[in-house]
Homo-oligomer: A and B are copies of this chain.
Amino acid sequence: METRDIEILLTLAEELHFGRTAERLHLSQARVSQVIRKLERRVGAPLFERTSRRVKPTPIGRRLCHDLQQALDLIQTGLARAEAAALDTGRALRLGVMGILGLELRRLVDAFRDRYPGSEVQITEFHFSDPFTPLRTGQADLHLLWLPVREPDLTVGPVVLTEGRVLAVAAGHPLAARDSASLEDLGDHLVVDGGAGAPDYWVESMVPWRTPSGRRIGRGPSARTFHEVLSLVAEGRCVSPLNAHVTRYYSHPGVVFLPIADAPATRWALTWRTAGESAHIRALAQTARDIGAHA
């Protein structure tokens, strides 16, 4: 008898309804039926009387649920205690960020250090040219990535930052004189190319392949890091959509940043390998949820 089975049994004893039980546990109704049947065969007696109208525990079932509820509570509190203790002794959590963005996470990191004085967070910088590899190779425990992230092995956690987008153009560029740009303008110029390390859907969400009206957006020279992008833009070899926070940290005489009026907001979320989830990771994610996203 596995704890998963116990959880299903107890939920059914509460809900008294196979469908609602399945829904609460994100299972199919059939699965709930199978598990209960398996338990009944294991025990050797029916645990519920059921018709299509009513589900009611038998005396044996009721008694078993009572015992198992206690056991499950014990497991959960024991685990919670161990996790709490672990947070006082753990090694540093490596939090990946792209470019200068680590500075924007001060509030989160301070709040986390405040809650878990025994834990440490280490900010590590990675490049947008290969966004998921640091997590997969274990170079980072979490990574701050812009959404959408649709990778089956990764969990997308809370959104911690939301910001607008700007277009970086050379100071002498025709657009530089305007005080805002639009996605449609991208059709008239080359944009920086991010290389092949990231999946198309992810690049597309930041640097689209087509303007809203359907014109193709041309790819210019490629860059791996933010500084390389800035250089290319300053040389006038291309333009590049960027996230608004760069305007707070960079001012380059040869580059002008124009708000892109019709670009969707960029949402930055904590992301981690599902298989690598740990108490530390959950703690940081929960801290992020609690302090909320801020522009």
* Residues of A bordering B, CB below 8 Å: 1-4, 6, 41-45, 59-60, 63-64, 66-68, 70-72, 74-75, 77-79, 81-83, 85-87, 89-90, 276-280
Contacts and interface: CB of A to CB of B under 8 A. Distances in A.
A45 B86 contact: yes
Nearest to A67: B78
Contact of A2 (B2, B41, B66, B67): B2
A44 B67 CA distance: 29
Given A1-B75, A1-B79, A71-B71, A63 B45 contact: no
8 contacts: A1-B3, A41-B277, A44-B83, A44-B279, A45-B279, A63-B85, A66-B78, A68-B74
A83 B79 CA distance: 29
Contacts of A64: 78-79, 81-82
The number of times this chain is found in the oligomer is: 2
Contact of A42 (B44, B78, B87, B278): B278
Nearest to A65: B78
Contacts of A74: 67-68, 70-71, 74
A45 B91 CA distance: 9
B68 A78 contact: yes
A4 to B, nearest CB: 6
Given A71-B71, A89-B60, A82 B43 contact: yes
Contacts of A83: 43-44
